[in-house]
Chain A
Amino acid sequence: MMAGLMKMRRGTVTPYSQFVAGMRGVVPMAIGAIPFALIFGALAVSEGGLSIWATSGLSLFVFAGSAQFIAVNLLSQGTGLIPIVLTTLIVNMRHVLYSASLAPYMKHLPKRWLLPLSFWLTDETYATVINVWQDTNHDRSHQAWYHLGNAVAMYTNWNLWTLLGALFGSQLPNIEQWGMDFALVVTFISIVVPMLVTRPMLICALVAGGVSLVTYGMPHNLGLLIAATAAIAVGYSVETRLQPAAASRPVPDTGSQVWQLDQKHE
């Protein structure tokens, strides 16, 4: 991977500049993830009873923040291996949606790209790269480099702060009660709100929020899957209702902008 990267860097400037642009693009989200990685590192050792190696191992090889948190919580309750792995599967089912939504844009990529980019798929990376993939003004290979830079920055950041949390968490008592986890809320708000430029998107968000509140108590974060699925269905059906012509037009397009253009035509 590194050899290929260095070769590309020497050969042409553009992939490298896209890689750096991808890293830059995710900086605010990476900063928002820092408290979470710190708290995870600290709790995995103190509550989950994991070694520092296993704590870092989870961030290095699983790399799924919310699943890692839930695993630590289950470990602290003495839950066994199989239920933890099954819970991880259910909590991460939302990645099926991310992965499926990226598939049309990434189908041209060879496996040596698909494998690492899949492994590094997170909420933050998906939400920031999907806008770039949908922008038809970009060269596909450049979009892949942008995606790679974005993912590498999130991965490096998550692992660095996990390790620091695991090493020094014991010196920060009750770190989980400092309210640093608000960073997750504000990060997701900062990503979602600029996307709410069309009526279907706004309705989609309202349905997601409303259903998620009603289904909150369901086990294994199932409420999240139900709320997300309902919101996607409602958002899309509102779109087809309001604008039947656009519904038959293929993506890629920058959905929101096309929508605005169409409205002017009507």
Chain B
Amino acid sequence: MNEILLIVGMAVVTFAVRYLPLLMLGRFDLPISVTRALRYVAVAVLTAIAVPYMFYRDGVLSISHTNSYLVVGLAAVVIGFRSKNPSVTIIVGMALFVAYRFLLTALPV
């Protein structure tokens, strides 16, 4: 594989989807309904990435206490609602994840 072509090809398509909507839609006023609907983008996209990541392990649906991504992910949701502070959620969530993985290996259930 030509590495330079790979980088150029991926760079061009990635920049296009990031830049062209901004360039074209910035030229006129979007309908109010569209700008209001676009406020749901962040929640919709990030949730649609994170949720399958928690529930599917190695391509298989895994609803089990041994799935640490799911168990600690749900705990992080609770922490997020309580703290409302991303730093706290990330740091406590990661610490819980390490502790839970350790518990799973130390105490096989």
Contacts and interface: CB of A to CB of B under 8 A. Distances in A.
A184 interface: yes
Given A81-B2, A81-B5, A185-B69, A61 B11 contact: yes
A143 to B, nearest CB: 15
A231 B35 contact: no
A80 B2 CA distance: 10
Interface string A89-105: 10011111111111110
Contacts of A224: 45, 48-49
Interface in A102-153: 102-104, 106-107, 114-115, 118-119, 121, 123, 126-127, 130, 134
B15 to A, nearest CB: 6
B51 A186 contact: no
A50 interface: yes
Interface string B79-109: 0110011110111011001000100000000
Q: Would you call the interface of chain B mostly helix, strand, loop, or mixed?
A: helix
Given A53-B3, A96-B21, A192 B90 contact: no
Contacts of A14: none
B26 to A, nearest CB: 4
Contact of B26 (A98, A107, A189, A190): A107
A188 interface: yes
Nearest to A101: B38
A208 B17 contact: no
Contacts of B52: 212-213, 216, 223
A163 B47 CA distance: 29
B29 A104 contact: yes
A251 interface: yes
Contacts of A89: 13-14, 16-17
Contact of B68 (A80, A107, A182, A211): A182
A179 B5 CA distance: 32
B19 A118 contact: yes
A189 B42 contact: no
Interface of B: 1-11, 13-23, 25-27, 29-30, 32-56, 61, 68-69, 72-73, 76-77, 80-81, 84-87, 89-91, 93-94, 97, 101
5 contacts: A81-B2, A179-B97, A213-B52, A228-B44, A239-B36
Given A224-B45, A227-B44, A236-B33, 12 more contacts: A81-B5, A86-B13, A97-B45, A99-B19, A189-B76, A189-B89, A191-B86, A204-B43, A228-B41, A249-B32, A251-B32, A251-B39
Closest 10 CB pairs of A and B: A193-B80, A190-B89, A186-B93, A107-B26, A54-B3, A231-B44, A101-B38, A103-B25, A99-B21, A118-B19
